[in-house]
Structure 1
Amino acid sequence: MHPAPPVGATISRVKILSIQSSVAYGHVGNSAAVFPLQRLGHEVWPVLTVHFSNHTGYGAWRGPLLAPADVAEVIAGIEDRGVLGDADAVLSGYQGDPAMGAVILDAVEKVKAANPDAVYCCDPVMGDVGRGMFVRPGIPEYMRDTVVPRADIVTPNQFELEFLAGRATDSPRELLEAVDVVRGMGPRHVLVTSVLHGDVPDGSLEMVAVSDEGAWAVTTPLLPISPNGAGDVTAALYLAHLLTTGSPATALEHTAAAIFTVLEATLAAGTREIQLIAAQDAIADPPKRFAAKPYAT
C-alpha cells in the first residue's frame, strides 16, 4: 500500500501523461479528457490506444485499434526526450487488452522511477448498472487483480466498485466498506460515481470521495441522460483538482459542478455527445453549485 499524494503539496499547473482511446467525432477517452484539462491550464501528453471515427456506443465505427507495441513506441519516444520525470500523473481509462494494460503499467513504473511524487489515476472502465460488464472476458479480473493495486487514485462507478470489492453497496455503510476493500488493495484515493442506494433521495445521485483524510459526498439532481464520455471527463477533472487543491472535498465539489453543467448542456442540446465546448467556462471556473459534506453512515 502506498501513501496518498500529500494534501497541501499542491501543483499549480499539472503535467499529465494520458493513455486512452481517441475518437474523431465526439468525446470519449482522450477526446473527452484532454480539452477539459487544457482548459484548466494543464499540460497533457495524450497517447492514443485507438483512433476511431466515433465511440462504439453507436454500434458502428471505423479506424484502427493500435497495437500495444506501437503505443509503447510512442511512450518510449517521450522517454527519449528526457521528460517523463516532469510528469505529475499518469491517467488511464478503458483498457481493452491485458497487453495494453501492461504497456500502461510499464509507463507508470517509468514515470514514478523518474519522479517518485508522480501518481497514477486509473478509471477502471468495465461496466455499469443496466448494461453489466461491457469489456472482454478476463478484463474485469485483470483490472481488479493487476491494475487497480498499482493505482494511487481510482474512479469507479458504483457497479465497478461492487465488482472490485466483491460486495453490494446498498447503504452508505456498505459503500464505505467496499471502498475500504479497494483502498486495501493499494489506492489511497477512491472517487465513486453514479451512486444510488436506498439512502439517496429520489431524483438524486451521489458522488463520493474517500481518502486518508476522510469521506465526503456530493448530491446532485439525477438527469435523464447517461452519455458516453462523462466518466472520462470526471476522472480527468478529479485528478487535476486533487493535485491542484490538495483537498479531496474541494476536488469533489469542483468536479461535480463541472460535470453536472456539462450534462445539463448536453440535455438541453438534445445530443448524445457531451457538450464540452458549450460548457467550457464551467470547466475552467467551476461554479459553487454543490457542497461536499462528510459522508455519514
Structure 2
Amino acid sequence: MADDGTIPVEPRVLSIQSHVVHGYVGNRSAVFPMQLLGLEVDVLNTVHFSNHTGYKKFRGERMTSEQLENVVAGLEENDLLHYTHLLTGYVGNPALLRAITNTLRKLRRQNPSSLYVCDPVMGDDGKLYVPPELGTSIIVSLSMLTFSHPCAVDIYRDEVLPLADIITPNQFECELLSGMTLTSDADAIAACRKLHALGPRIVVVSSFTPPEEPHRLWLYASQTVGQGLSNTFKMEVPRLPAYYSGTGDLFAALLLSWLTRHPSNLKVALETVVATVQAVMRRTNDAQSANRTFVRSYERTTTSFTPSYSYVGELKLIQSRRDIEFPTAAHQPEGAAALVAAGVTVVFLTDDKDDVVRYTLSSPDVILS
C-alpha cells in the first residue's frame, strides 16, 4: 500500500468460485486466462471436487459460509483485502452467497471503487444446479417462473445484484432473475433494463437461443449511460455441435480482463472475449474430433478400451494460451475479417426503438472502433 493509504494501481482480482482437480470449470477455467492477461489473481474455492458434476460420479467438499468468513478474516488481519476486482461464479449455497456479499463490503471499505463481476451460476437449459443442501423443495416453472422455497435466486436478485457492477447470466439465469421469458429482442432488452434497475450497470446475457430458431445463438449486452438510458447490442456467434463445461466461467473471466484494458468500451472488450472463447472452443472441438477418430481406430483392434468423457471433453485452455494472450478481435482490421469469416454478426440496437437495427457487422470491410 502506498504512503497515502491508496491501493496498488495494478489490477488485483479475488476470484471466488468452484475448483476441480481434473478439468477446467470454475477457478480452473478462470484464473489461468486472467493471469495470462497480466492480472494478479487470488483464489478462494467454494467447492473442491475431483471433477465437475457433469461426470457420472464426483467426490469432494463444499465450503461453508463460516469457512469462507474465516479465510477472509485472515486476509483482513494481514491487511490483504486491497483488491481492485471481485469475480464470483458457482457458489451453490445461499449462506455462502451472503458471506460473499459481506466480503465485498469489506473490500469496498478498503477500496470503494472495487469492481464486482458476478456470474450468477444457477442453471442452464431450463435446469437449476441444485446442491444437496437445498433439498428437493425448489419447484421451477419456466412459464410462470415460480418457486416453492426461498433460494439462491432470491438472494442473487435481492442482495447480490444491488452490489454488482457487471453480471453475465445465460438466458435461463436472466429469465430467473428478471422474472421474464425471453423470446425476442424486445424481451431481452426489457430484461436487461429490469436487471439494471436492480443495480448492475453492465448486463451481458451470454447466450440466447430464439425459440423459433434453435440453431442460432446470440449474446446481448447492455450498459447504462445515465438518466435511465442504456445502450444495447447483440452478437450472433457460431453454435458448435457440442457443449463444453467451463465456457461461462471463461467468458466472465475474459470480460473482466479485457474491461481492465478497455474500461469505457464494452463493445471492443466483448468482441475480444467472443473471439477468444470461439478460438478455445474450436480448438477443443477439433481435439475432440481427432480423439474420436483415434478411439474408433483403437476400438477396431481391441474391445478392452472404453473412452471416457475426460479423454475428449475438457476445454483445451493450455493449448489455447496464444489465443488468450493474442486474440484476433473485431476492432482490428485483420480481426474483423477473421470474426466475420467465423460467422460472427454484431447488431446494435437503438436506445429509443427496441426493434430497430442500428449497425451490422456483415463483411470483412467493416472495421469496428
TM-score when scaled to structure 1?
Answer: 0.90
Classify 1:255/1:279 alpha carbon distance in 2 versus 1 (closer, same or farther; 3 Å): same
1:91 corresponds, among 87, 92, 96, to: 87
Which position in structure 2 is the counterpart of 1:124?
120
Which position in structure 1 is the counterpart of 2:65?
68
Compute the displacement of 1:76 (Å): 1.8
Range 265-274 or range 39-48, more displaced:
265-274
Which position in structure 2 is the counterpart of 1:279?
320
Name which one, 1 or 2, has greater alpha-carbon Rg.
2
CA–CA distance in 1 between the matches of 2:268 and 2:9? 15
Compute the displacement of 1:58 (Å): 0.6
Which position in structure 2 is the counterpart of 1:231?
248
CA–CA distance in 2 between the matches of 1:252 and 1:278? 22
Compute the displacement of 1:75 (Å): 1.6
Compute the displacement of 1:38 (Å): 0.5
Deviations 1:173-204 (A, max 9, x none): 1100011001101111111111112687x743
Where do 1:209-228 residues align within 5 Å? 209-213=221-225, 214-228=231-245
CA–CA distance in 2 between the matches of 1:192 and 1:232? 13
Stretches of structure 2 that go unaligned for 5 or more consecutive residues are: 1-7, 139-150, 226-230, 289-311, 330-338, 356-369
What letter matches 1:238 in structure 2? L
What letter matches 1:79 in structure 2? E
Whether 1:21 aligns to 2:18 is: yes
Whether 1:295 aligns to 2:349 is: yes
CA–CA distance in 2 between the matches of 1:291 and 1:77? 47
Q: Contact 2:37/2:325 (CA < 8 Å) preserved in 1?
A: yes
Deviations 1:44-86 (A, max 9, x none): 010111111111111311222122222222222222232322x
User: What SS does the aligned partner of 2:252 have?
Assistant: helix
Which position in structure 2 is the counterpart of 1:154?
167
What letter matches 2:279 in structure 1? T
CA–CA distance in 1 between the matches of 2:110 and 2:250? 27
Compute the displacement of 1:14 (Å): 2.1
- Using the aligned pairs only, state the percent identity: 37
Q: Which has the higher contact order (CA 8 A, sep 6+)?
A: 1
Q: Contact 1:21/1:29 (CA < 8 Å) preserved in 2?
A: yes
Q: Contact 1:75/1:107 (CA < 8 Å) preserved in 2?
A: yes
Compute the displacement of 1:97 (Å): 1.0
User: What SS does the aligned partner of 1:254 have?
Assistant: helix
The number of residues matched between the two structures is 284
CA–CA distance in 2 between the matches of 1:167 and 1:59? 33
Classify 1:12/1:223 alpha carbon distance in 2 versus 1 (closer, same or farther; 3 Å): farther
Whether 1:255 aligns to 2:265 is: no
Which position in structure 2 is the counterpart of 1:43?
40
User: What SS does the aligned partner of 1:273 have?
Assistant: coil
Stretches of structure 1 that go unaligned for 5 or more consecutive residues are: 1-10
CA–CA distance in 2 between the matches of 1:209 and 1:238? 12
Which position in structure 1 is the counterpart of 2:204?
191
Deviations 1:139-184 (A, max 9, x none): 2222222222221111000111111111122111110001100110
Which position in structure 2 is the counterpart of 1:169?
182
User: What SS does the aligned partner of 2:13 have?
Assistant: strand
TM-score when scaled to structure 2?
Answer: 0.73
Classify 1:285/1:199 alpha carbon distance in 2 versus 1 (closer, same or farther; 3 Å): farther
Compute the displacement of 1:291 (Å): 6.5
